[in-house]
Structure 1
Amino acid sequence: MEQLRIADKNTPYWWEAAPVKPLPQQPLAKMVDVAIVGAGYAGLSAGLVLARQGRSVAAFDAMNPGEGASSRNGGITSGSIRPDYATITRRFGEDMAIAIEAEGKLAREFLYDFIRTEGLDCDFQLVGQFKGVIGFEQYEKTARGAEVLAKRLGIESYAVPYPEQRNYIDTDFYRGGMVRKDIGGLHPAKFHAELLRVALTAGLVVHSGTRVISIEKDGSGFHVATSAGTVQARQVLVCTDGYTDGAVPFLRRRLVPVRSRIIVTEELAPEVMARLMPKQMMLIEGRQLGFYFRPTPDGKRILLGGRDSSRAGDPDGPKLFLLKGLVNLFPELENVRLSHTWFGNVAMHRDMLPRIFEKDGVVYATGFCGSGVVWAPWVGTRAAHKLLGHNREASTAFDFRPPAAIPLYSGNPWFMPAVIQTYRVQDRIAFYRASR
């Protein structure tokens, strides 16, 4: 039995069709208008806008472009915000809460229009999303949320009572849920590869395998020291997220890299896929440490992801935890093989809201908290317009103060096991209350 629980490959499933790879080495310019740190979704989106406006732009990535979260995520275009409406209202006021709620709709529409108008071949399908809930109390809250989305923003969303649940997912694990029709899925590595293609065509220069070592203010510009040499830049945009390192210590003290793990099954019979996921939707849960899962774009496999509590190496424990979660949902998959499993970093911070901010002249676009498929292109694009001085196009509710620094933290998330354990306890309490 145990031998069935080890994946064939410990690399992202997405790399089979769109492998990440280094770019041809480029000469380092002595001076550029804008230097961008990071060549993921945010950095490339910003670089595309800037290059099309005639700016000379160089993006630097310590790894292969897209090797981080941009090609390791689940490819769900949720644009979710972790704090709920009430929490955002309490912390930042109702005007901010309303603006953020509305901006999520704009950001998804922006992404879908961008894919269409640029002709990006990334397997995008607007299939909708089902959210499963635990217990009557959570169902009532979720149903009210669906009504708010429909009335306030015109988003097609509705509650799904338990007797109708199997129309969306063939499981008894949940007690109903909700559907949103404005969410879909894409192939994240193909999306990045296509974004890279159009950005390079526009004139963006991308230096892969080139680490930024330091950024120093120098008169009206910046000295950007890299592993390939130093470049002078009039402006600097930092678009690192879960892979932020010591080159930007101010940001590193504010972003916590959290491991996220994904497993993918072997190919399943067409009739099994049609029964387990009859509408081929994206799927999420209402738990603190909930899973997200979906059919692969070809409809032949199930991909399931969640938090990984490990901090070093590639242990089997987190893989088995996700497999157990998959089997809890679909008991008939008890003996299924895994074809792929991998992990990557997402960045969390104290506000849990995507962010644009400026510090000592450097602009930052970061803090996507696991929802970068939608938010990274949106925030990266707004940040580019901010650098260009296009106030209307740069307008966003996420342009405000930096996230607060985390006490006693400078890059080593020593406290994450305790945080994850707290979430697990909260989920157990929720299950207990739901079963009473």
Structure 2
Amino acid sequence: MQREVSHVQEPHIADKNTPYWWEASPVMPLPRQPLAKKLDVAIIGAGYAGLSAGLALAREGRSVAAFDAMNPGEGASTRNGGITSGSIRPDYATITRRFGEEKAMAIEAEGKVAREFLYDFIKTEGLDCDFRLVGQFKGAFGYEQYEKMARGAETLAKKLGIESYAVPHAEQRNYIGTDFYRGGTVRMDIGGLHPAKFHAELLRVALASGLTVHSHTVVKAIERNGSGFRVATSAGTVDARQVLVCTNGYTDGAAPFLRRRLVPVRSRIIVTEELAPDVMARLMPKLMTITENRQLGFYYRPSPDGKRILLGGRDSSRVGDPAAPKLLLRKGLMNLFPELENVRLSHCWFGNVAMNRDMLPRIFEKDGVVYATGFCGSGVVWAPWIGMRAAHKLMGHGEQSRTAFDFRPPSAVPLYRGNPWFMPAIIQGYRIQDHIAFWRASR
């Protein structure tokens, strides 16, 4: 029986402010390892990208260590929604305008390959991470938006062979138990996994392959040292022939060139208490992952056991853990599913994603250092893929390192040195755009 509570009078909003994922797979420090004096490759960051790169390098016989300022995976790798979308923020037309049609099509095609790679990797390596290829429904606001999305789904099916199709409003409740949207689209190449379990399993196979991971080891500086690099850390200094930077939303002063190009943005997720089976069957009948076609759209999904709903979105706060962003997400959940008004929230937490001016993931090289970064909120697919491509780039494997995302660095953000003071205003601007679009769609 569900407990009836008033969310307005509940000052803490949710029972726990730590990620729901940590209940089954907590992040932990690793046993302290001796610091090697010399390495073939030093990797900065031990999230999905750093571990994937380290795994590939270690299996090729390289001496390689990854350094993480926190517990491995404590950042976005275990705080995300676990949706394998591999989405790209700019649409096809925008990418074509900026980089040309050839690059745009290559990026679209690589998304399909990257998802297939991830699914095969999980299966081949035997990673126990609750992965299910359940598909994704994307909600439309208004008939005009629905028509545009339907044409896009048709293009995906024809050009890339992706199972993708439109869902008219009359059939919407077969996919999601709400009338909030006016139809939408489905693509069946997207699924869900348990992100903390995925990271823990990736860490397991990487360590077994010979990667050394130093947790709670801050990288202070990366400097040229003859033909290689000297990496100064809180545990000492190591000489490395090559350096790979795989930080993203938690990039710090050790990578100042990257820090001026990545803007950390808070993303927040709420989780309901366990819901009755008939409620879950009514609200999420196909147990799909869900997203929306708006600038600050929500993303949501059932928990891997099918008993809860997780809902996430962007958070304009920058310090502390204020109540307003939590209440905004709860209001969004109520708008979608009014019958959940009195349902208690078990968890609410936030973490950083990283945006850049192109809004595209990237591999690039600067002064001999290789960077694999810029996942823009879709790191479940892109971080392992880009991390492995970067590793093969370091090893000189031409075909295995080939990717449409290996090109110039993203442009620096003017007047930015790591403090995203402007983000609340930008997010508010997106929110206004969404309100205007929603108003027009409802006329």
Per the normalisation by structure 1, the TM-score is: 1.00
Distance 1:77 1:111 in 2: 9
- The reply on whether 1:316 has 2:328 as its aligned counterpart is no
Instruction: Provide the residue aligned with 2:162 in structure 1.
Output: 155
Instruction: Provide the residue aligned with 2:360 in structure 1.
Output: 353
Q: Deviations over 1:336-379 (max 9, x none)?
A: 10000000000001000000000000000000000000000000
Distance 2:437 2:29 in 1: 46
| AA in 2 matched with 1:193 | A
- The reply on whether 1:93 has 2:100 as its aligned counterpart is yes
Task: Please state how far the C-alpha of 1:152 moved relative to its aligned partner.
Answer: 0.2
Instruction: Provide the residue aligned with 1:366 in structure 2.
Output: 373
Where do residues 323-334 of structure 1 align in structure 2 (5 Å cutoff)? 323-334=330-341
Distance 1:326 1:213 in 2: 42
Match of residue 73, structure 1, among 74, 80, 83: 80
SS at match of 2:358: coil
Q: Deviations over 1:97-120 (max 9, x none)?
A: 000000000000000000000000
- The reply on whether 1:251 has 2:255 as its aligned counterpart is no
Instruction: Provide the residue aligned with 2:349 in structure 1.
Output: 342
Match of residue 304, structure 1, among 308, 311, 315: 311
Instruction: Provide the residue aligned with 2:134 in structure 1.
Output: 127
Distance 1:258 1:135 in 2: 29
Task: Please state how far the C-alpha of 1:226 moved relative to its aligned partner.
Answer: 0.3
Distance 2:390 2:285 in 1: 40
Task: Please state how far the C-alpha of 1:218 moved relative to its aligned partner.
Answer: 1.0
Distance 1:61 1:336 in 2: 38
Distance 1:280 1:78 in 2: 15
Task: Please state how far the C-alpha of 1:137 moved relative to its aligned partner.
Answer: 1.2
Q: Deviations over 1:37-64 (max 9, x none)?
A: 0000000000000000000001000000
Distance 1:116 1:6 in 2: 38
Q: Deviations over 1:102-157 (max 9, x none)?
A: 00000000000000000000000000000001001110110011000000000000
Instruction: Provide the residue aligned with 1:389 in structure 2.
Output: 396
| AA in 2 matched with 1:17 | A
Where do residues 257-268 of structure 1 align in structure 2 (5 Å cutoff)? 257-268=264-275
Task: Please state how far the C-alpha of 1:433 moved relative to its aligned partner.
Answer: 1.0
Match of residue 188, structure 2, among 174, 181, 189: 181
Distance 1:411 1:367 in 2: 15
Q: Which runs of 5+ in 2 are unaligned?
A: 1-5
Instruction: Provide the residue aligned with 2:418 in structure 1.
Output: 411
Match of residue 226, structure 1, among 204, 209, 233: 233
Instruction: Provide the residue aligned with 1:136 in structure 2.
Output: 143
Task: Please state how far the C-alpha of 1:435 moved relative to its aligned partner.
Answer: 1.4
Match of residue 116, structure 2, among 109, 112, 115: 109
Residue-pair matches, total: 436
Q: CA RMSD in A?
A: 0.6
| AA in 2 matched with 1:11 | T
Task: Please state how far the C-alpha of 1:3 moved relative to its aligned partner.
Answer: 3.9
Task: Please state how far the C-alpha of 1:432 moved relative to its aligned partner.
Answer: 1.4
- The reply on whether 1:282 has 2:282 as its aligned counterpart is no
| AA in 2 matched with 1:276 | L
SS at match of 2:291: strand
Instruction: Provide the residue aligned with 1:169 in structure 2.
Output: 176
Moved over 4 A (4+): none
Match of residue 43, structure 2, among 11, 36, 40: 36
Task: Please state how far the C-alpha of 1:6 moved relative to its aligned partner.
Answer: 1.1
SS at match of 1:8: strand
Distance 2:56 2:215 in 1: 20
Distance 1:356 1:294 in 2: 30
| AA in 2 matched with 1:322 | L
Q: Deviations over 1:181-230 (max 9, x none)?
A: 00000000000000000000000000000010000011100000000000
| AA in 2 matched with 1:175 | R
Distance 1:195 1:183 in 2: 20
- The reply on whether 1:13 has 2:11 as its aligned counterpart is no
Per the normalisation by structure 2, the TM-score is: 0.98
Distance 2:287 2:231 in 1: 46
SS at match of 1:368: coil
Query: Equivalent pairs: percent with the same residue?
Result: 83
Task: Please state how far the C-alpha of 1:165 moved relative to its aligned partner.
Answer: 0.3
Distance 1:166 1:399 in 2: 41
Instruction: Provide the residue aligned with 1:432 in structure 2.
Output: 439
Distance 2:362 2:63 in 1: 25
Distance 2:104 2:144 in 1: 23
Q: Which runs of 5+ in 1 are unaligned?
A: none
Instruction: Provide the residue aligned with 2:54 in structure 1.
Output: 47
Instruction: Provide the residue aligned with 2:220 in structure 1.
Output: 213
Task: Please state how far the C-alpha of 1:15 moved relative to its aligned partner.
Answer: 0.1
